[in-house]
């Protein structure tokens, strides 16, 4: 009988072992924002949610921590993103979701900044694999993309930039309740990258984008999609110890981005890179696949900015002093340094 029930029903009748896992519920103290409560609300509302329900659906960063403790292995973020789509269709969605769709329609991404101009400012490089900076990194000026290109070149296997038509993977459209637009945008970006049946190798700065592409794109056989830390760690292994500069005399604390640790299941590469680049690497109490969210994803900063700020404040306090991470949005929310920035300073000691 259980096998025949819908996933939302499983949340309704579940003992709610995931209730402690949601960062939005944690900082607000609202039981109505626990994962099970939000999914149950989505099931009760069906296709006719009201504005209050839409805001409850918005209180999800997509961090996927709840899924780690779900007795039924439900994809809670996907269920809530589907609920957001019902809110959009019912006309009760937060205004920022509609504004996002308009910006994508006009400029091919959801940022206010001219991302095409930022991309054009990046120096082109050779290389078999292509770097897909993503909208968050480009909106911040493209510095992380420049450093990633520099580090790959220093490690002896340079990257080339993804085509100008591939500025944004479109994941935010899915988060904003526009699944059809997300699918159409992904198809356009894919066509800019994939030529015929030749395999492609795409390296992402944003782990959420990498996961979105891994799950949603039909790529030619032999293609590879990975995060920049995975790519650079593999290059570092091939670099002779004698060619490596001494570690920087720094002590840093690593924030594992949710999309990297839980989405891509990558926790080793960031630590391998930092172990070589700095003298001391620390982990906070919540790390690895049990990492705590920074509050920057799932469109939370635009829909519930105060909740997003409180999540970031709590995580910042947990991390302590000098924090490093490997996600542009997390770095901005936490005031943390990107791992590629640390690597760029470390490898700047290596002669050309």
- What integer pLDDT is reported at residue 16 of this predicted model? 66
Domain that holds residue 247: 243-347
What token pair was written down for 213? 């592409």
Q: For residues 210 and 260, state if they share a domain.
A: no
Residue partners of 272: CB distance under 8 A and separation at least 6: 233, 236, 237
pLDDT over threshold 50, residue 2: no
Q: For residues 180 and 89, state if they share a domain.
A: no
Look at residue 100 and tell me if it is in a domain: no
Say which residue, 40 or 160, is predicted with more confidence: 160
CA 87 to chain centre: 23
How large is the average pLDDT for residues 71-97? 91
Look at residue 352 and tell me if it is in a domain: no
CA 119 to chain centre: 20
- Residue 74: pLDDT band with limits 50, 70, 90: confident
What token pair was written down for 81? 């993103």
pLDDT tens for residues 172-202?
999 999 999 999 999 999 999 998 899 999 9
Q: For residues 174 and 224, state if they share a domain.
A: yes
Rounded-to-integer distance, Cα 1 and Cα 13, Å: 13
Rounded-to-integer distance, Cα 14 and Cα 43, Å: 14
132 pairs with which residues across the strands?
204
pLDDT over threshold 60, residue 234: yes
Task: Compute the residue count for the chain.
Answer: 352
Q: For residues 139 and 165, state if they share a domain.
A: yes
Q: For residues 21 and 124, state if they share a domain.
A: no
How large is the average pLDDT for residues 241-269? 96
Q: For residues 71 and 187, state if they share a domain.
A: no
Q: For residues 208 and 149, state if they share a domain.
A: yes
pLDDT tens for residues 141-159?
999 999 999 999 999 899 9
Provide the number of structural domains found in the chain: 3
Look at residue 140 and tell me if it is in a domain: yes
How large is the average pLDDT for residues 331-340? 97
CA-based torsion, 59, 64, 69, 71: positive or negative: positive
Last-in-domain residue among 59, 93, 127: 93
- Residue 10: pLDDT band with limits 50, 70, 90: low
Look at residue 180 and tell me if it is in a domain: yes
Last-in-domain residue among 93, 114, 139: 93
Of 29, 299, 22, 23, nearest to 39 (Cα)? 22
- Residue 8: pLDDT band with limits 50, 70, 90: low
- What integer pLDDT is reported at residue 18 of this predicted model? 72
Look at residue 220 and tell me if it is in a domain: yes
User: CB count, 10 Å around CB of 235?
Assistant: 15
Look at residue 327 and tell me if it is in a domain: yes
Instruction: Please give the model's pTM, rounded to 2 decimal places.
Output: 0.93
Q: For residues 19 and 112, state if they share a domain.
A: no
Look at residue 98 and tell me if it is in a domain: no
Rounded-to-integer distance, Cα 202 and Cα 223, Å: 8
Last-in-domain residue among 67, 93, 119: 93
Residue partners of 22: CB distance under 8 A and separation at least 6: 33, 34, 35, 59, 60, 65, 66
Q: For residues 114 and 220, state if they share a domain.
A: yes
Q: For residues 109 and 229, state if they share a domain.
A: yes
The answer to whether 32 touches 52, Cβ cutoff 8 Å, is no
- What integer pLDDT is reported at residue 244 of this predicted model? 93
Beta strand segments in the chain, E: 130-132, 160-161, 201-204, 224-227, 248-254, 278-282, 323-325, 337-338
pLDDT tens for residues 298-309?
999 999 999 999
Look at residue 191 and tell me if it is in a domain: yes
Lowest-pLDDT range, 24-33, 119-128, 163-172?
A: 119-128
Q: For residues 225 and 145, state if they share a domain.
A: yes
Q: For residues 276 and 301, state if they share a domain.
A: yes
């Amino acid at each position: 009988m259980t096998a025949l029930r819908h996933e939302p029903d499983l949340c309704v009748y579940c003992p709610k072992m995931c209730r402690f896992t949601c960062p939005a519920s944690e900082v607000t103290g609202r039981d109505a924002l626990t994962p099970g409560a939000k999914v149950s609300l989505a099931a009760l509302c069906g296709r006719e949610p009201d504005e209050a329900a839409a805001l409850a659906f918005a209180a999800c960063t997509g961090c996927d921590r709840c899924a780690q403790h779900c007795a039924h292995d439900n994809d809670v973020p996907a269920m809530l993103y589907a609920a957001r789509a019902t809110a959009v269709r019912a006309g009760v969605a937060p205004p920022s979701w509609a504004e996002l769709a308009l910006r994508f329609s006009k400029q091919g991404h959801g940022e206010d900044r001219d991302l095409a101009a930022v991309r054009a400012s990046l120096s082109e490089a050779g290389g078999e694999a292509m770097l897909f900076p993503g909208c968050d990194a480009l909106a911040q000026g493209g510095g992380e993309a420049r450093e990633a290109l520099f580090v790959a070149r220093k490690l002896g296997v340079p990257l080339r930039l993804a085509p100008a038509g591939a500025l944004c993977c479109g994941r935010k459209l899915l988060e904003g309740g526009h699944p059809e637009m997300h699918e159409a945008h992904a198809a356009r970006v894919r066509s800019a990258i994939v030529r015929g049946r030749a395999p492609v190798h795409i390296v992402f700065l944003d782990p959420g984008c990498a996961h979105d592409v891994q799950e949603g794109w039909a790529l030619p056989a032999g293609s590879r999609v990975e995060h920049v830390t995975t790519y650079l760690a593999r290059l570092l292994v091939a670099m002779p110890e004698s060619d490596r500069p001494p570690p920087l005399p720094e002590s840093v604390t690593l924030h594992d981005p949710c999309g990297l640790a839980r989405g891509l299941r990558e926790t080793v590469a960031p630590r391998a890179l930092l172990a070589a680049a700095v003298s001391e690497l620390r982990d906070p109490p919540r790390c690895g696949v049990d990492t705590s969210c920074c509050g920057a994803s799932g469109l939370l900063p635009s829909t519930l900015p105060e909740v997003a700020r409180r999540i970031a404040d709590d995580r910042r306090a947990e991390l302590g002093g000098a924090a490093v991470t490997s996600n542009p949005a997390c770095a901005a929310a936490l005031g943390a340094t990107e791992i590629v920035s640390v690597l760029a300073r470390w490898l700047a000691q290596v002669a050309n």
